[in-house]
A and B are shown apart, each in its own frame.
Chain A
Amino acid sequence: AQSVTQLDSHVSVSEGTPVLLRCNYSSSYSPSLFWYVQHPNKGLQLLLKYTSAATLVKGINGFEAEFKKSETSFHLTKPSAHMSDAAEYFCVVTRPNTGKLIFGQGTTLQVKP
């Protein structure tokens, strides 16, 4: 079975400082992992995905994530937070045959001026 655990329900950073959102996964298959972002009253948007190619994945808006098999982690980072980054972030693993997405509980990112 596959699952993801987002280690922080809420992260608060100051504008211009680094962002780290933590995610651990569990998968009996070689996993495909995603990060999605959800801004208030807007739809889910894909930030980036890992599908067994390069372990360091670059996404939109300056975000990146590193797949670490030894640590079963897929943490999301950004060097410098922007006010517009304030949103809910979901770490996601996919079931390989159907592609159904299994979401973590989400991390709320707050960016303070």
Chain B
Amino acid sequence: GAGVSQTPSNKVTEKGKYVELRCDPISGHTALYWYRQSLGQGPEFLIYFQGTGAADDSGLPNDRFFAVRPEGSVSTLKIQRTERGDSAVYLCASRGKGGSTDTQYFGPGTRLTVL
């Protein structure tokens, strides 16, 4: 079946602009995660959704970052007033109902470049 998809695959924007990154999880997966991977680093957790609600947003770096999942499926990560330091690959993962140790399936990521 279809895996996790993310759009766009690449996004180039200018400093100060607003961007939206989209994640389509595997159908039926209730848990959804966003991570950010900077060059040469391991991914870092941003936010976790269980259904429609953000169960853990402790990884969001500041209030310029916000994410929603209004119908418990597709999620959008929103970044306001982008800064050059926001440049990274943004990864989305979804997990089934097998509990917190169940496998997370990752999408291919969105590469964000802020000029």
Which chain A residue lies CB-closest to B6?
A: A43
Q: What is the interface size of chain A, counting residues whose CB is below 8 A from a CB of the partner?
A: 23
Q: A44-B43, A104-B42 are in contact. Are A98 and B55 (CB under 8 A)?
A: yes
* Complex-state Cα separation, A32 to B99, whole angstroms: 12
Q: What is the interface size of chain B, counting residues whose CB is below 8 A from a CB of the partner?
A: 29
How many pairs of residues, A versus B, come closer than 8 Å at their CB atoms? 65
Which chain A residue lies CB-closest to B9?
A: A41
B20 interface contact, C-beta 8 A:
no
Enumerate chain A residues within 8 angstroms of B95, measured Cβ to Cβ: 99
- The one of A96, A97, A99, A104 that contacts B104, using a Cβ cutoff of 8 Å: A99
List residues 89-115 of chain B with CB under 8 A from any CB of chain A.
91, 93, 95, 99-109
Asked whether, in the complex, the Cβ of A49 is within 8 Å of the Cβ of B104, the reply is no
Q: A32-B101, A94-B100 are in contact. Are A100 and B56 (CB under 8 A)?
A: yes
A11 interface contact, C-beta 8 A:
no
29 residue pairs from A and B, CB less than 8 Å apart = A32-B100, A43-B4, A43-B108, A43-B109, A44-B91, A44-B93, A45-B106, A90-B43, A94-B100, A95-B100, A96-B100, A96-B101, A98-B48, A98-B56, A98-B100, A99-B31, A99-B48, A99-B95, A99-B99, A99-B100, A99-B101, A99-B102, A99-B104, A100-B33, A101-B33, A101-B35, A101-B93, A103-B44, A105-B42
Q: Which residues of B contact A (CB under 8 A)?
A: 3-4, 31, 33, 35, 40-45, 48, 55-56, 59, 91, 93, 95, 99-109
